[in-house]
Structure 1
Amino acid sequence: MRLALNKLGTYKIDESSYVPKYFQLKEILGKMIKGMKPAEMIPSEHQLADQFKLHRLTARQAITELVNDGLLYRVHGSGTFVAEKKVEGTSNTIACIFRNIRPKTENDNFFLEIFEAFEDELSKNKKFMLYKCLNNMNSEDEIIETVSEILATKAGGLVLDERVPDSVISKLNCPDIPIFLLHRKSPVKAVRSVVSDNKSSVSLILEYLLGLGHKKLLFIYETKAPNQLEILDELKKLSIEYNIKKSDLIIIPATEKDFSGKSYRDAARKGLKLHNPTAIIGGSDWIVSNSYTEIHKLGLKIPEDISAISIGGFDISNHLSPPLTAVRINTEEMGRMAAKAVLFPGKYPGDIIIPSSLIERASCAKSK
């Protein structure tokens, strides 16, 4: 910041000019920050007022306009900093590579909620979403081709679906724009993530079930859902911390080939028959919804004979009988924060973790 003050010493406010003083200062600061690095702090309002013999409110107006222009950003209690450089010629669009968005009425299509919140936040900032849908998320060539097409529009940022693999992300050539990944983390350094707090979600479930006296747990997850793989990792780690025996934690993978739920029902039937758990945990509401079918087929009652809980907490969970206890993923906040992060990347230098919460309904009871 001292270097920045030194640079300002070469500039002066023209007292005789008809140009407002705040605008003169804005122009001076604009020239100064061109030679500064992103996240570098600029002089404070008081320092600028002293340097140029201005009222502090005049300095504040100049800074505020630069913040509104996206060239600076404020951190409450810390100061004002240089934002990441804008790419010349970029449009008012943010490029998005998402899965096929299905209606809310289908299964637990939480991604639509993320999508809508993301688009709404962009529109508040007079930006627009350029959305490309990938139906075949297994084809790396298709994804790379689609990303190349969408980046040719000179979009100001890129937001990716969790199902875009790291092997593809590492090949993307767009160093001048921010890239954010939704609903999972990535080891690729150029990418930041907006994710739910999976560790907290799993802790909430384990503390809740163990508090009800459950000791034998069945966990079913989708092998093609990256976020559920992260949940699985957290579950394995936390089960050790909570002193859960390996024999008391049954983990069954499922791979859904369509939206019928058959693989989830098969996994539930296998786990229920072979292991006799007292509680079933699903990596999603849709998994547990299908598990309800198998539980009823075996003549068991929820929650009298077995408790059920999921990670999701979307519309479908409240319409089951009995309504499903769940850890709620805050999809709306995930969408909003993803938009804010890609619009103002300098304010969000790392991954963004969205808190989750437990919604207690009628599907869980004390273990017999």
Structure 2
Amino acid sequence: MTTERASSKSSSDSKQGSRTPLYRQIKEYVRNQIEQSVWLANDKIPSENEMAGQFKVSRITIKNALQELIEEGLIYRIQGKGTFVAQDKLGEPPVYRPEKRQGDLTVAFLMPRIDNRFTANLLHGIENQLADEGFNLLFRTTGDSQETEKELLNQIVRSGFNGIIIYPAQGQSYNEEILKLTLNEFPVVVVDRYLRGVETNYVCSDNVTGAFEATEHCYRMGHRRIGFISTHVEGTSSIEDRLTGYEKALSENGILIDRYLRLTDLESKEVNRILQDGASDSASKERIVQYLERNPELTAVIAVNSSVGLTVMEAAKQLSRRVPEDLSVVFLDDYELSAFSAIPPTFVNQEEYTVGREAVKLLVSVMSNPKQKRRKIVVPTRLVVRASSSARPEE
């Protein structure tokens, strides 16, 4: 497996790219060549491979552009010989038979749920890049259930779709169906979570570096007792990587890793209520309150995500510990409208929009060549410093 780092261009830059999908640009190029009589009736046009090289896109993007022109009657294809310009619109109808297609313009995307900014931006990136490539999107949620995930995967494969992007349900093992599809060379790309030791095509944020930079930010502000709070670590690679980055930053700055400063077994479904319902789960908040009471010397906390971060801030408020004067809190992702909250949080931008676009690019590449070596693409993150972190309080 090869590991690659995606461009560090931010998601906002990505969104400002071309508004015209790539396949439509190519479609218009071919149409113009014909309308301007550069290519005449019955002329053979460049092959899909030649145009893919010319425009530096995948063959599938070219295929999608040409297929629409075939259906419009502007060109026709002869099996084994190539693609040709049809008779002009004033002449006889072209003699061609459109290829039967079943699902080859639709890609499926499965994810546990769409309930926060991260998942919404991830979906948005996938949707936009698929449109650029000329594909439709089938989107389904699994409710973070491996059983539902398995059923949906089987339905999608039976329906004849050409590719799947999947954000796996949380667990200590991949769904067997994902492994079967990978072994059978079915085009699959995994996003955000991956299973160590299993070679699949996947795209993720650089969670290790993101957590490292968040922790080092606290260290540079004078903090030495820095905690880490998360939902269950085991079986979720993104959380495991964030914990690794946190511990790496402590070690490289000469701070002993204190296991008692870690709280890593909150229930994700419970703690997520703060974003869904506007109120934290009482059990999760109470556990964080107890954690803060056990560690009065703590001056900074790295929260694995925005749900945990908001619950930490509520727990601190209950104990009359001010953020950031008494306790700095850094979120390892962001939430909708966070900039307008009473205390806008310092956070790590996971660049999830870019993760979505890169996942589609990788899937299209795999669809063009299913036997290619499996690839891991890591998207750089970015620390955004705001009001929830400050210098260590005076003792």
For the Cα contact (< 8 Å) 1:213–1:366, is it kept in 2? yes
The residue type paired with residue 293 of structure 2 is K
Distance 1:290 1:67, change over 3 A: closer
Determine which of 25, 50, 64 is the counterpart of 2:54: 64
State how far apart, in whole Å, the 2-side matches of 1:247 and 1:174 are.
41
Q: What are the ranges of 5 or more consecutive residues in structure 1 without an aligned counterpart? A: 1-17, 31-59, 73-87, 103-107
For the Cα contact (< 8 Å) 1:160–1:182, is it kept in 2? yes
Determine which of 246, 251, 258 is the counterpart of 1:247: 258
Distance 1:93 1:22, change over 3 A: closer
State how far apart, in whole Å, the 2-side matches of 1:141 and 1:166 are.
11
Higher relative contact order (CA 8 A, sep 6+): 2
Deviating more after overlay: 290-299 vs 263-272: 263-272
Distance 1:66 1:275, change over 3 A: closer
Distance 1:214 1:170, change over 3 A: same
Question: For residues 22-61 of structure 1, what are the structure 2 equivalents within 5 Å?
Answer: 23=46, 26=47
User: Which residue in 2 is equivalent to 1:360?
Assistant: 385
| Alignment of 1:268 onto 2:288 | yes
| Alignment of 1:118 onto 2:139 | no
The residue type paired with residue 112 of structure 2 is R
Deviating more after overlay: 229-238 vs 147-156: 229-238
For the Cα contact (< 8 Å) 1:215–1:244, is it kept in 2? yes
The residue type paired with residue 230 of structure 1 is D
The residue type paired with residue 169 of structure 2 is R
User: Which residue in 1 is equivalent to 2:142?
Assistant: 134
Distance 1:204 1:125, change over 3 A: same
Distance 1:61 1:205, change over 3 A: closer
State how far apart, in whole Å, the 2-side matches of 1:237 and 1:343 are.
35
Distance 1:365 1:179, change over 3 A: same
The residue type paired with residue 265 of structure 1 is K
| Alignment of 1:97 onto 2:110 | yes
State how far apart, in whole Å, the 2-side matches of 1:98 and 1:162 are.
6
Q: CA offset at residue 354 of structure 1? A: 0.8
User: Which residue in 1 is equivalent to 2:361?
Assistant: 340
| Alignment of 1:170 onto 2:170 | no
Relative to the length of structure 2, the TM-score reads 0.67
2:128 counterpart SS class: helix
For the Cα contact (< 8 Å) 1:285–1:311, is it kept in 2? yes
Distance 1:338 1:305, change over 3 A: same
State how far apart, in whole Å, the 1-side matches of 2:165 and 2:267 are.
26
Distance 1:157 1:20, change over 3 A: same
Provide Cα deviations, 1:106-144, integer angstroms capped at 9, x if missing partner: xx4411110122111111222011222212x34x44322
State how far apart, in whole Å, the 2-side matches of 1:190 and 1:66 are.
27
Relative to the length of structure 1, the TM-score reads 0.72
Distance 1:175 1:322, change over 3 A: same
Distance 1:358 1:306, change over 3 A: same
Give % identity.
19
Distance 1:248 1:152, change over 3 A: closer
State how far apart, in whole Å, the 2-side matches of 1:146 and 1:22 are.
40
The residue type paired with residue 101 of structure 1 is I
Q: CA offset at residue 323 of structure 1? A: 1.0
For the Cα contact (< 8 Å) 1:100–1:133, is it kept in 2? yes
The residue type paired with residue 98 of structure 1 is M
For the Cα contact (< 8 Å) 1:289–1:320, is it kept in 2? no
The residue type paired with residue 64 of structure 1 is Q
Provide Cα deviations, 1:227-253, integer angstroms capped at 9, x if missing partner: 223312332344323322123871002
Q: CA offset at residue 19 of structure 1? A: 6.8
Q: CA offset at residue 210 of structure 1? A: 0.6
Question: For residues 281-292 of structure 1, what are the structure 2 equivalents within 5 Å?
Answer: 281-292=302-313
Q: CA offset at residue 361 of structure 1? A: 0.6
Deviating more after overlay: 221-230 vs 358-367: 221-230
Determine which of 239, 244, 255 is the counterpart of 1:233: 244
User: Which residue in 2 is equivalent to 1:304?
Assistant: 325
Q: CA offset at residue 290 of structure 1? A: 1.3
Distance 1:133 1:19, change over 3 A: same
Determine which of 141, 146, 155 is the counterpart of 1:149: 155
State how far apart, in whole Å, the 2-side matches of 1:174 and 1:155 are.
17
Q: CA offset at residue 151 of structure 1? A: 1.1
State how far apart, in whole Å, the 2-side matches of 1:279 and 1:189 are.
35
Q: CA offset at residue 22 of structure 1? A: 6.4
The residue type paired with residue 361 of structure 2 is K
| Alignment of 1:222 onto 2:231 | yes
State how far apart, in whole Å, the 2-side matches of 1:252 and 1:342 are.
37
The residue type paired with residue 139 of structure 2 is Y
State how far apart, in whole Å, the 2-side matches of 1:62 and 1:226 are.
36
